[in-house]
Amino acid sequence: MAASSTTEGNSSGEGGLSCDIFAGEWVPNPEAPYYTNKSCWAIHDQQNCMKYGRPDAEFMKWRWKPNCYDLPIFNPSQFLEIVRGKSMAFVGDSVGRNQMQSLICLLSRVEYPIDVSDTGDDRFKRLQYKIHNFTLASFWTPFLVKAKEHDPDDTIGAGLFSLYLDELDESWTTKIDEFDYLIVSDGHWFFRRLIYRHNGRPIGCHSCMVQNLTDYPAPYGYRLAFRTAFRAIISRENFKGITYLRTFSPAHFDGGAWDGGGNCMRKRPYESNEAILEGVYLDMYNAQIEEFRAAEKEGRQRGLKFRVIDVTHAMLLRPDGHPSGYGHWKNASKPNDCVHWCMPGPIDTWNDFLLDMMKME
């Protein structure tokens, strides 16, 4: 199972006893959802399952119940008071952006932000909550480290990326000093065709089909990318904020891969004893956690706080929460999406976790 053994995600349960908020079950929540696709403009079409005709709504009506604690539902007023005068950045891929959009929608019951971005690139957004003087930003970095896509006209280049595992992606690493909170995550891009480079030289690959290069499983590059990313954060002398690692979020393709007709049509969550984290997903999770622990220890020497939002086990149990074929019109020639999460939906729980942890600081 994916429940974390670290203490950073623990909350104070009844009687002040320590509780692992990431070990538990999904239980019915008839009061949900707390926003809709019509009340929140921040939902991207790809996660707007109700817009595109998803016929069932039960996937929105569950909440996470830790085994030893009643995790509160997200309170937008409380969150905005905690972050008054502060700033938060989401660093990672489109699943991380999915969480940021969930946060915007949850906060919309109190305040909507205005766009103060200094670029028209939607991958790098900066939003301002004027009433609470709170800044929310996103930095797109699907590999966390420097990466380059090969020329598709090259005989080996179609869909192939070079990852410079020891080099920083300066599109985000040079811009974090001002932030009080970093939410760092990444995941499914590491299953693509990749060439791994160190000191600029190829040292191996993942599914690259290039002669004379050793093929490594996805967790190899994943581990080294997080190692470099964490070191980049620790080395920023002016960064004084809290870093939250949001752990790997499993996909749930059934009957085929993402590009081979795979789907995810389940209508209810699994119970905790119905699903086990195993195989490459377990290896990805373990690589993250091990690099996190090393960074936490090193960061502590510089007075930095590292925390883990361990969503892996909870989301392993939610094959019902993906857009599947409801992230686009039926006549669109697009694969089913069993990676991202419908909004409203189970991803809103990630921000329940986040707020509960922020209250403990």
The single residue of 4, 11, 94, 138 carrying the catalytic annotation is 94
18: pLDDT strictly greater than 50: yes
Looking at residue 1, its pLDDT comes to 39
177: pLDDT strictly greater than 80: yes
pLDDT over 70 percentage in the chain = 92
279-300 vs 218-235: helix crossing angle, rounded to 10: 20
Q: Of 106, 50, 58, give the one whose Cα is nearest residue 78.
A: 106
Q: Across residues 196-218, what is the average pLDDT?
A: 95
131: pLDDT strictly greater than 80: yes
Query: DSSP readout, 68-120?
Result: T--PPPP-HHHHHHHTTT-EEEEEESHHHHHHHHHHHHHHTTT---EE--SSS
Residue 209 binned pLDDT confidence (cut-offs 50, 70, 90) = confident
Active site residue 340: yes
Looking at residue 157, its pLDDT comes to 64
Q: Are 289 and 307 in contact (CB under 8 A)?
A: no
Question: How far, in whole angstroms, is CA 187 from its chain's centroid?
Answer: 8
At 140-158, the pLDDT tens digits run: 999 999 999 987 666 666 6
At 84-109, the pLDDT tens digits run: 999 999 999 999 999 999 999 999 99
Looking at residue 129, its pLDDT comes to 98
CATH of domain 10-359: 3.40.50.1110
Cα separation, 305 vs 296, in Å, equals 7
Starting from the edge strand earliest in sequence, which strands make up the sheet with 201-206, in order? Answer: 145-149, 160-168, 193-198, 201-206
Six token digits for residue 342:
């419908």
Cα separation, 334 vs 337, in Å, equals 9
Active site residue 94: yes
The single residue of 20, 337, 348, 352 carrying the catalytic annotation is 337
Looking at residue 211, its pLDDT comes to 87
Looking at residue 302, its pLDDT comes to 94
What are the angstrom distances between the C-alpha of 155 and each of 190, 205, 221, 301? 21, 16, 23, 48
Q: Where are the domains of the chain?
A: 10-359
Six token digits for residue 315:
């989301």
Looking at residue 123, its pLDDT comes to 86
Q: Across residues 331-360, what is the average pLDDT?
A: 93
Q: Across residues 33-50, what is the average pLDDT?
A: 95
Residue with the bigger pLDDT between 61 and 6: it is 61
Range from 130-134, 156-160, 303-307 carrying the lowest mean pLDDT:
156-160
The single residue of 340, 348, 352, 356 carrying the catalytic annotation is 340
Q: Which residue bears the tokens 């995941």?
A: 187
Q: Across residues 18-42, what is the average pLDDT?
A: 95
Looking at residue 7, its pLDDT comes to 38
At 259-305, the pLDDT tens digits run: 667 899 999 999 999 999 999 999 999 999 999 999 999 999 999 99
**How high does pLDDT run on average in the chain?**
92
Q: Are 349 and 64 in contact (CB under 8 A)?
A: yes
Q: Across residues 194-211, what is the average pLDDT?
A: 94
The single-letter code of the amino acid at 361 is E
Looking at residue 120, its pLDDT comes to 83
At 59-80, the pLDDT tens digits run: 999 999 999 999 999 999 999 9
